[in-house]
A and B are shown apart, each in its own frame.
Chain A
Amino acid sequence: MTDIDPALRKATAFLARFIVVAGVLYVGWAFLSALYLSTLAAVFNNLADESVQYAVFRDNLAIVYNDVQAKPLVLALADNDIFFMNLLVVVGLLLATPIDGSTLNRVGWTLGAGMLVWMTHLLSLFAGEYLVIWDFVDSLPGDQALSLGTAVEARFPRAQEVIFRAIFDRWRLWVRPTLALLLWFFFARGYLRLDVDTAPVGSNP
């Protein structure tokens, strides 16, 4: 064991711990995803007006649009809970990192980071109501798209949808992993040797 490069040993140990923790969290997620989606939907429904409501059907979210046509329009989202799984990435990183501090410190960080990520998921529901309805309108044949699109435009202006989509796409691709890592970098600053306020490494003569 002593022959193994210490740098490789530390990196491999972290990788192994992270994969184990994330694997366990993934199994737990199978049981908790419906509950998680329910909390998001409940808070959104309390904050938003009644024209748009989220509901949980068979472990997936559905959006109920109450005022874009005579009857409520229900659009079910498939596999949308996968999008929220970056919560597991954040928690996995925090739990897989050995720290000198107390367990309470780790619990506090995990809860705080989890709450922050949960809030970003809640915000994504507000953008989602625009994106989903316009995706649906765009998928309809010409005449239907035109008639429903006119009704949708009044409540969900296309110009706003374009802005929300641009933000959402960047969020999904770039910001989600960056946020997870920023939280982790700060939490693991001792582990990553960021807590030494000395001359830059490698500047020794």
Chain B
Amino acid sequence: MKYKDYYATLGVERGADADTIKKAYRKLAQKHHPDVSKEAGAEEKFKDIAEAYQTLKDPEKRAAYDQLGSSYEAGQEFRPPPDWERQFRERHGAGAAPGGGSFSFDDLDLSDLFEGLSRARRGAGRGGASMKIPGEDYEVTVHLSLEDAARGTQVDLSLGVPEMDDQGRVRHVPKTIKARIPKGATDGQRLRLRGQGGRGLNGGANGDLYLNIVLHPHPLFRPDGHDLYIDLPLAPWEAALGATVEVPTLGGAVNLKVPPGTAAGRKLRLGRKGLPKPGGGEGDLYAIVQIVNPTVLNERERELFGELARASHFNPRGHFTGGGHG
């Protein structure tokens, strides 16, 4: 079993009183809580802080922890005192099972150990074997491509799932869960998969799995709910004279009619070419017009633009001097 320095985790002296420990925890929790902090690894950091606090705030657990002494370094392998093992065995009936294998602390986590010891001392474990314990809920962020969100997909999620072995010990084991995501996802949307969280114990209901959908940026389409936006670059003459242009959609390219005299920034709507909606139907696709000039003009183009400039009376900045508010 690896030793953890709970006092160092909370940044307090070994002799700190309960109030100091609580204050230190709250300060760290506010900073590193995964619902508040956006820093990488906040979840792991907060888990360590919470684990340290769960042990140190409980006088009984803290006393047991203090018994270990202060000579260990964090991460160092150590063996708990022999009478702990005895208490734990009695509580969990370990070794009583025929052929139950050898009982060892080695594969237990320090926090699981304190939880087990504390339950053994309270005697709360006696009725525990038959108590219904609902499974844990999980929240996971899932990154999807726009295409997968549109089609629906299946993802493999790696979770640390608590499991109770036949000796009644709880430990966290890595587990891969396959989750089917029905079509209709949008960026930032949440999906609840009922009963696909942690397994309930002793007949308790299984937990739920909550997925937070985040869409990968797409090189062409920008999602807004179930609507999609795409930039539509047009040559000045296409915008002025009107044109039929090919526009990509999730379901393949379609022809779009650009009306004559189309201004930059205009939104041209392609009905039902957006993302599918969960209840049926689809969002729309909006093509936003950009007017793009050739950066290099050949001689003929320069001539034609020159001729246009001389022939046209169009003034795009008329409102600057017209005294109006247009």
Bound pair: A and B?
no
B residues touching A (Cβ–Cβ < 8 Å)? none
B-contacting residues of A (Cβ < 8 Å)? none
